[in-house]
Structure 1
Amino acid sequence: MTHRQILEAISGLLLGMFVAILSSTIVTNALPRIIADLDGTQSAYSWVVTAALLAMTASTPLWGKLADLASKKLLVQIALVIYVAGSVVAGLSQSTGMLIACRVVQGIGVGGLSALAQIILAAMISPRERGRYSGYLGATFAVATVGGPVLGGVITDTSWLGWRWCFYVGVPFAVLALVVLQKTLRLPVVRRQVSLDWRGALLMSASVSLLLIWVTLAGESYAWLSWQTFAMTGGALALGAAFVWVETWVPEPVLPLRLFRNRTVTLASLASLFVGVAMFGATVFLSQYFQLARGESPTRSGLLTIPMIMGIFLASTISGRIITRTGRWKVWLVTGGLLLTAGLGLLGTMRYDTPYWHIALFMAALGTGIGMMMQNLVLCTQNQVDPADLGAASSAVAFFRSLGGAVGVSALGAILSSRVSGYLRDGFTDRGIPPARAAAEAGGGSAIPDLAELPAPVRTVVESAYGHGLADIFLYAAPAALLAFVTVAGIKEVALRTRSGLQQAGPPDGGAGGSARREQPAAKARG
């Protein structure tokens, strides 16, 4: 395929990726207002994000396996439809419980869009050339990431729109992506009997969900060392062991364990787990810092995160082009791990009155590290597996990144609630403010406070408590980034292949693996 043909083919994919990332970022700066309007708590704040990440985590391997068995084009379109349905209902939410349930549906669709975009790129483009096009994905990620919070802030601050439109605004982009995909994306479809590992998917989801519920409630609803802790952690481990056992004998495992015999796949998956903890677990709470520690509006909160987004944009696009030209990719992973660790550590020193230019530099380092690592971990994994396993391997990396993000957001959210409560208590005591009255006005560290309604002395204490508490969770996330750095340092650099997945698989004329043909519009597609 020529460069122009590839760009035409991936145009719909880029739109789909834009929708997927937009759905995650557009609510970032709106969440404090959303949770306050729905009378939610800090735990609900974390779970609105965690629910979508958990659904992505559970569904990504399934999407990857389906991509190895069925029409990739049809799967992308199904993922878009699921996303649209979840978004429309999410905008009608009347409680945090309803919103969390809708975020699960959104997460299933977004998981498909994220996984399938990487898989289709791998099928069409050789690893050596893929860095160039991965840069386009990185640029799309950056645009949606910087545009989402700003757009969400503007929508939230606009009285005649309101935060519910944060969920509706992505729907037209999804419909446009459906139309573009229908006209431009054509890939061979390999006919094989589909055997989905539903048992493995259910066991994996149950194990991760139980672990996240324990992390969210421990220390608040019951003690960390209690019978509930032992019951939940023991249950999560038992379900995890059952998942591994099921994966050893089912014909089409949702997460093929044989892939992890390859050292690069294993280390890249581990690194993605740690990157997910650092990336999602830390960046999700930046909007809370700007709104609750510095009193900024949702719109300004989005604009203030631009240094991080520019770091992601520049690092992903520049590294992709240089990798295509030189074929060297490990240096970007190692440098990204160092910058990610440094950025999180430096953000851990901030307070509510830290000069913004300091924070801007810290965010730029964080974003640059993310941009260097995220796409290139997928690239080095795809370079090491057979064409038949491209879907499963790509989704494995995405699975561990989403898993790390879900665990990170849930765990750091629980830590934040505890730290803020302690800092509020200490701040009120130091200023001689009656703790009971002040804590009630400030939400006691559990509810999301509205700074505009707080008296000046209480507001200062709340801003200081959130500034210090949010800095603490960046420090807690920094060791995960350090582990990501150590892990990628152990990956052996292998020269990038010069043939795409479809070229390696051979011409679409059947063979031992089954018959294949060029994919036509969805009305005629089968498989």
Structure 2
Amino acid sequence: MPKQQVDTPAAAEVPEADPTPRSPREIRLVMIGLVVAMLLAMLDNLIVGTAMPTIVGDLGGAEHLSWVVTSYTLATAASTPIWGKLGDLYGRKGTFLISIGIFLLGSALSGLSQTMTQLIAFRAIQGLGAGGLMVGVMSIMGALVLPRDRGKYQGMFAAVMALATIGGPLVGGFITDHLSWHWTFYINLPLGVVALAFIVVTLKLPKVRSTAKIDYLGAILLTVGITSLVLITTWGGQEYAWGSKQILGLTALAAASLIGFCYVEQQAEEPMLPLGLFRNRNFALVSVIGFIVGFAMFGAVTFLPLYQQTVQGASATNSGLLLMPMMFGMLVVSLVVGGIVTKTGKYRVFPIIGTAVMAGGSLLLSTLGTDTSQFTSACYMVVLGAGMGFLMQITMLVAQNSVELKDMGVASSTATLFRTIGGSFGVALFGALFNNQVTSTMAASGAQVPGGHGQLGPDALRALPAKFQDAYHHAVSNGMHTVFLWGAVISLVAVAAALFMRETPLRGAGDEPAEKSLEAAAV
């Protein structure tokens, strides 16, 4: 199949779609590579998290433990919008292959680490590559499959998310126990080679060559702003008090960087993130919804296992299985919604239903108590997962349908970034609410959490007197009530955003050019 060359000077546009027809078999082959790449991006932190105690025991440096995750998260978040823009300017296939290569290099180096400092540095390299994996997957699918037909494939990505969440801790535990922690990183290499092979052989996209200048200043300001936001949510209330000079300084730096970024983007010839995209009503609204979905999802993933292990006495060994009901609800609903969207081309009702169900699921979870059964909590988790299933892929679909193909990478990276930042804020805010509630409840009961912290591990808790355990169970239940009640309130913002969305037709075969079909969604 011959490749096509498209010159794209500074303001030129690439064609709306690759004119070469795609057979279902060809798309499925490409999807194998995309799914494996997405699995790499999502599985890594879950596998590594299980092996961290062993890694610390081998390398030492326990005081720097959090940076093994933070360096990866920072690099991923900061590089996400840059990868999206580079794909738009210089071709999605090439930038995607480079991101996979960087991720695999970081994985190999992380496995070879001899000190904690080396591991932190190599994890940052991994994170740089990971930032391009998710964006590459979504933007390539956006370029390859027309929006009207994209619903039938979204179930694959929901399945990957469920598989990663459930299987990650299990795989990490198995590797750590039967091989060595080094293989938690080396396992990425064969998977990465499979993804590279499928993408190189099966993916054919028009070549893109741009003469536009890269918006270096915008990239730097955006990177500083995102990094500051992630550090605020990572350190606030943990490493430093929320009112400390470190957190306040980071807040000022984030505000100054992002304000400067907005000014620079208005002047740039080829902006890193065209702010004009937010004039499109649907694009702006799904960005808000994506932020809140990340907020709710990461909050649930963080605190539900804690409740089930501490209050309900579930084993931590198979911690990934604790979230299976939520992932099951997400997977089933995502598959059903994808089929309906492909068949009807209608989607507006699903964000409305999804945000309302998500709020309802959060409200149900806020009723968790010391006597709630595992079956009841599992049913509540199914409701929350179902709400997310209505939203996870639809938000990306609407974001991509709201832009022209030349901005597909930026649209994909922006949707991913808002969800990532939402997750960071969700964990930080919910963590502060949870710890404050646990501490105040324990103080009211006359007991104090040993060490002055708001949380106790299951093993440490079992070593304490029964009276203290009972008080702590009530404190954790109160903390869960506060967390999910606020989650329900915040979800109502997403409901309001969904109500204001417009039913812009999804582009399909034979449709008119994007710039005409998008006019209805512009404000």
Equivalent position amino acid for 2:450 in 1: A
**Aligned residue for 1:514?**
none
Superposed displacement of residue 482, structure 1? 2.0
Superposed displacement of residue 120, structure 1? 0.8
Alignment of 1:499 onto 2:503: no
Equivalent position amino acid for 1:237 in 2: A
**Aligned residue for 1:203?**
221
Q: Relative to structure 1, is the Cα distance of residues 368 and 492 closer, same or farther in structure 2, using a 3 angstrom cutoff?
A: same
The residue matched to 1:196 in structure 2 has which SS? coil
Q: Relative to structure 1, is the Cα distance of residues 106 and 456 closer, same or farther in structure 2, using a 3 angstrom cutoff?
A: farther
Q: Report Cα offsets for 1:39-93 as digits up to 9, x if no partner.
A: 869x966x76665444333212111111112232222222222223333455567
In structure 1, how many angstroms separate the alpha carbons of the residues matched to 2:493 and 2:277? 22
The answer for unaligned runs of 5 or more in structure 2 is 1-21, 516-523
**Aligned residue for 1:484?**
494
**Aligned residue for 1:517?**
none
**Aligned residue for 1:192?**
210
In structure 1, how many angstroms separate the alpha carbons of the residues matched to 2:244 and 2:36? 48
**Aligned residue for 2:147?**
127
Superposed displacement of residue 153, structure 1? 4.5
The residue matched to 2:333 in structure 1 has which SS? helix
Superposed displacement of residue 245, structure 1? 1.1
The residue matched to 2:380 in structure 1 has which SS? helix
Q: Does structure 1 conserve the Cα–Cα contact (< 8 Å) formed by 2:312 and 2:374?
A: no
Q: Relative to structure 1, is the Cα distance of residues 305 and 246 closer, same or farther in structure 2, using a 3 angstrom cutoff?
A: same
Q: Does structure 2 conserve the Cα–Cα contact (< 8 Å) formed by 1:277 and 1:409?
A: yes
Equivalent of 2:463, from 444, 454, 457? 454
Alignment of 1:404 onto 2:434: no
Alignment of 1:147 onto 2:167: yes
Single out whichever of 373-382 and 466-475 deviates more from structure 2.
466-475
Q: Relative to structure 1, is the Cα distance of residues 375 and 152 closer, same or farther in structure 2, using a 3 angstrom cutoff?
A: same
In structure 1, how many angstroms separate the alpha carbons of the residues matched to 2:473 and 2:57? 16
In structure 2, how many angstroms separate the alpha carbons of the residues matched to 1:112 and 1:220? 29
CA RMSD of aligned residues (A): 3.4
The residue matched to 1:284 in structure 2 has which SS? helix
**Aligned residue for 2:231?**
213
Equivalent position amino acid for 1:127 in 2: P
Single out whichever of 494-503 and 198-207 deviates more from structure 2.
494-503
**Correspondence 1:12-91 to 2 at 5 A:** 12-27=33-48, 51-90=71-110
Superposed displacement of residue 356, structure 1? 0.5
Equivalent position amino acid for 2:94 in 1: L
Equivalent of 2:304, from 278, 286, 293? 286
**Aligned residue for 1:391?**
409
In structure 2, how many angstroms separate the alpha carbons of the residues matched to 1:335 and 1:31? 39
Superposed displacement of residue 355, structure 1? 0.7
Superposed displacement of residue 461, structure 1? 4.9
Q: Does structure 2 conserve the Cα–Cα contact (< 8 Å) formed by 1:127 and 1:499?
A: no
Q: Which has the higher contact order (CA 8 A, sep 6+)?
A: 1
Q: Report Cα offsets for 1:205-247 as digits up to 9, x if no partner.
A: 3223334434455556666456655544333211211111111
Q: Does structure 2 conserve the Cα–Cα contact (< 8 Å) formed by 1:332 and 1:373?
A: yes
The residue matched to 2:210 in structure 1 has which SS? coil
**Aligned residue for 2:332?**
314
In structure 2, how many angstroms separate the alpha carbons of the residues matched to 1:373 and 1:120? 20
Superposed displacement of residue 481, structure 1? 2.1
**Aligned residue for 1:512?**
none
Q: Aligned residues: percent identity?
A: 38
Q: Does structure 1 conserve the Cα–Cα contact (< 8 Å) formed by 2:301 and 2:323?
A: no
Equivalent position amino acid for 1:119 in 2: S
Equivalent position amino acid for 2:507 in 1: R
In structure 2, how many angstroms separate the alpha carbons of the residues matched to 1:502 and 1:265? 20
**Aligned residue for 2:16?**
none
Q: Report Cα offsets for 1:145-192 as digits up to 9, x if no partner.
A: 332233335445xx3346664444333212221222222222221121
In structure 2, how many angstroms separate the alpha carbons of the residues matched to 1:321 and 1:381? 19
In structure 2, how many angstroms separate the alpha carbons of the residues matched to 1:152 and 1:472? 32
Alignment of 1:3 onto 2:24: yes
Q: Report Cα offsets for 1:258-317 as digits up to 9, x if no partner.
A: 111211111111211121211223323333333344443333322221111111211211
Q: Relative to structure 1, is the Cα distance of residues 340 and 104 closer, same or farther in structure 2, using a 3 angstrom cutoff?
A: farther
In structure 2, how many angstroms separate the alpha carbons of the residues matched to 1:502 and 1:81? 37
**Correspondence 1:404-443 to 2 at 5 A:** 404-426=422-444, 429-430=446-447, 435=448, 439-440=450-451
Q: Does structure 2 conserve the Cα–Cα contact (< 8 Å) formed by 1:51 and 1:103?
A: yes
Q: Does structure 1 conserve the Cα–Cα contact (< 8 Å) formed by 2:165 and 2:320?
A: no
Q: Does structure 1 conserve the Cα–Cα contact (< 8 Å) formed by 2:360 and 2:384?
A: yes
**Aligned residue for 2:395?**
377
The residue matched to 1:18 in structure 2 has which SS? helix
Q: State the number of aligned residues.
A: 492
The answer for unaligned runs of 5 or more in structure 1 is 506-527
TM-score for the superposition, normalised by structure 2: 0.83
Q: Does structure 2 conserve the Cα–Cα contact (< 8 Å) formed by 1:12 and 1:178?
A: yes
In structure 1, how many angstroms separate the alpha carbons of the residues matched to 2:435 and 2:418? 26
Single out whichever of 65-74 and 140-149 deviates more from structure 2.
140-149
Q: Relative to structure 1, is the Cα distance of residues 222 and 72 closer, same or farther in structure 2, using a 3 angstrom cutoff?
A: closer
**Aligned residue for 1:515?**
none
TM-score for the superposition, normalised by structure 1: 0.82
The residue matched to 1:108 in structure 2 has which SS? helix
Q: Does structure 2 conserve the Cα–Cα contact (< 8 Å) formed by 1:126 and 1:498?
A: yes
Superposed displacement of residue 332, structure 1? 1.3
Q: Does structure 2 conserve the Cα–Cα contact (< 8 Å) formed by 1:277 and 1:405?
A: yes
Equivalent position amino acid for 2:227 in 1: S
**Aligned residue for 1:137?**
157
